[in-house]
Amino acid sequence: MNGFTGFVLRRAVGAAVTLLAISVIVYVVFYATPGNVAQITCGPRCSPEQVHQVARQLNLDDPLFVRYGHFLQGLVAGQDYSTGTSVQHCSAPCLGLSYQSDQQVMQLIWAKLPVSLSLVAGAMVLWLILGVGTGMLSAWRRGRFSERVLTGVTLAGTATPVFVIGLILMIVVCGELRLLPFPQYVALTDDPEQWAWNLLLPWLSLALIEAAAFARLTRASMLETLAEDHIRTFRAYGVGERSIVGRHALRGAFAPVIALNANNVGSAVGGAVLTETLFGLPGIGQELVHAVNVVDLPVVVGMVLVIGFFVVLANAVADVLYAVVDRRVVLT
């Protein structure tokens, strides 16, 4: 237990260091790029005096390392910001104020995050069930006609863009069959049933694409595991094929699935832009695209850091799950 606790603590420290490195890289990349941020923020019709006033208000005249120090201070202890007419306190963790609306970036993120998390959580359950189940069945039925059909379906799913699947589902399910309403996000706390019904099509659209990758990975991993010596020993002792596939081979092949799922969950929080746009879901992805279009750097940096946080968190959890699922993993 002590070894496992130390392993978890080391992974937590490593995740914190990784996040700090990401914050440095992201901040430098966005704030050291060519272009006059004050001019873009103020607008093309601003006079030089107005541009200088905006730059002073946004502390853009300070050196980059000084501004990054203020940024870290806001994350840890909060910070006071001048909005021109008043002083606004931004509580920790503070990611700054939006150039466009003077709203705290964390408030924007908290408003959008439940939508993206709802989309990713439901889609994750579906892509694991569909992908792992299809991969298991394909490995079990290797060389048969059903296995060839499943392989063809997964290849088609990998090659089909998410917006194509989403459009087909909306036209057929919502338009022709009228089985579901056109998606319109409803908060889970307001109406859980409507929340699920309105997210069902976005979940399916995103899950069908990701499930194809999980099916192919599960099939390849299980075929490799089924060829190992201990599986042949189980067969020699008369253990049933279903038990071998479901209990022994799947557990041995699950480590790559955990890794892929960690990457997908982390990146999908902010990367499901097409899905959110297609179904009109006001999530992190849509807000990030809008912030990039209007060059709202604090929002862009904040959103990227939040997405990076979920990627690092998902991979740290995956490392811990490796040790739980596969006892051969060395806790280093």
pLDDT of residue 122: 92
Mean pLDDT (whole number) for 84-102: 80
Q: Assign 85 a pLDDT band (cuts: 50, 70, 90).
A: low
Q: Which of 72-86, 173-187, 199-213 has the lowest mean pLDDT?
A: 72-86
- pLDDT tens sequence across 225-235: 878 787 788 87
Burial 191-216 (b: 16+ CB within 10 A, else e): eeeebebbbbbbbbbbbbbbbbbbbb
* Percent residues over pLDDT 70 in the chain: 90
| Position 273 pLDDT exceeds 60 | yes
Helix, strand and coil percent figures for the chain, each rounded to 5:
75, 5, 25
pLDDT of residue 124: 92
- pLDDT tens sequence across 279-318: 888 888 888 888 888 878 889 889 889 888 888 888 888 8
pLDDT of residue 17: 92
pLDDT of residue 132: 87
- pLDDT tens sequence across 132-165: 888 888 887 777 777 778 777 777 777 788 888 8
What contacts 211, CB < 8 A, 6 or more positions away?
126, 127, 130, 131, 134, 154, 157
* Percent residues over pLDDT 90 in the chain: 10
- pLDDT tens sequence across 233-270: 887 888 877 777 767 777 767 778 888 888 888 778 76
